[in-house]
Amino acid sequence: MDQAKTGRFIAARRKELGLTQRQLAEKLSISDKTVSKWECGGGLPEVGLMLPLCGELGVSVNELLAGRRVEETEYKEQAEANMMDLVRQNQENKKRMALSVICGSVTVVAVCALVIIASFLPLPVAVRGAVLVLALVTAVAGIGGAAVLDAGAGWFQCSACGALFVPTMAEYVKGYHTFTRRKLTCPECGKRGMCRHRVVF
């Protein structure tokens, strides 16, 4: 699925209907920033908004996901292609999540091993310091890699309005978190809360 193509299609249909981003947003009870994000290819509308958006634009979900008008003769074929795209995207998200867990686990084991080596083996002071620096570098690189993989795997769902969104890396890193939730600010409603990590669309 090409988010940029879908975004251009949304913008084109909105303009054909003579609507501004604000007017379309008001019809859907969302912010005009959300419409702008879609049109710039920054994300797809969440599942709960797809049907209302399609209704306002006068298009089918297939056409929205394809980013173009779909003829009746190719409707079934396009529906299958869109479904396969969603399945592939969900599989990629699951792989990223698994890699994130593996990366985090390997990092913890490696850092613990390096700290134990530096603490209990009779090493010269310079070597001990080098091992501790290596442990620190390993921790930063491993946790950073795990965070990048985790942030790119799926979306976060606002606990207040249910919107799906992808946070910026800066907000992701700063947010307090548990295994499945992270404290983030929703770009839709502006409320800050513990947002659930959703890997599958």
* Dist. CA 51–CA 39, nearest whole Å: 17
Q: How confident is the model at residue 4 (pLDDT cuts 50, 70, 90)?
A: confident
Look up residue 197 and give its amino acid: H
The model's pLDDT over 128-181, given as tens digits with 9 standing for 90+, comes to: 999 999 999 999 999 888 888 887 787 788 888 877 788 888 888 888 888 788
Mean pLDDT of 99-115: 92
Q: How confident is the model at residue 67 (pLDDT cuts 50, 70, 90)?
A: confident
Query: What per-residue confidence (pLDDT) applies to 201?
Result: 60
Question: CB-based contacts of 29: which residues, under 8 Å, 6+ apart?
Answer: none
Average pLDDT, the chain: 86
Query: What per-residue confidence (pLDDT) applies to 117?
Result: 93
* Dist. CA 36–CA 143, nearest whole Å: 33
* Dist. CA 176–CA 183, nearest whole Å: 5
* Dist. CA 70–CA 153, nearest whole Å: 30
11, pLDDT greater than 90: yes
Query: What per-residue confidence (pLDDT) applies to 32?
Result: 87
Strands 181-185 and 192-198: antiparallel
Q: How confident is the model at residue 1 (pLDDT cuts 50, 70, 90)?
A: low
* Dist. CA 25–CA 117, nearest whole Å: 58
Mean pLDDT of 20-37: 90
Q: What is the DSSP string of 61-104?
A: HHHHHHTS---GGGHHHHHHHHHHHHHHHHHHHHHHHHHHHHHH
Cβ atoms 30, 48 nearer than 8 A: no
Q: How confident is the model at residue 13 (pLDDT cuts 50, 70, 90)?
A: very high
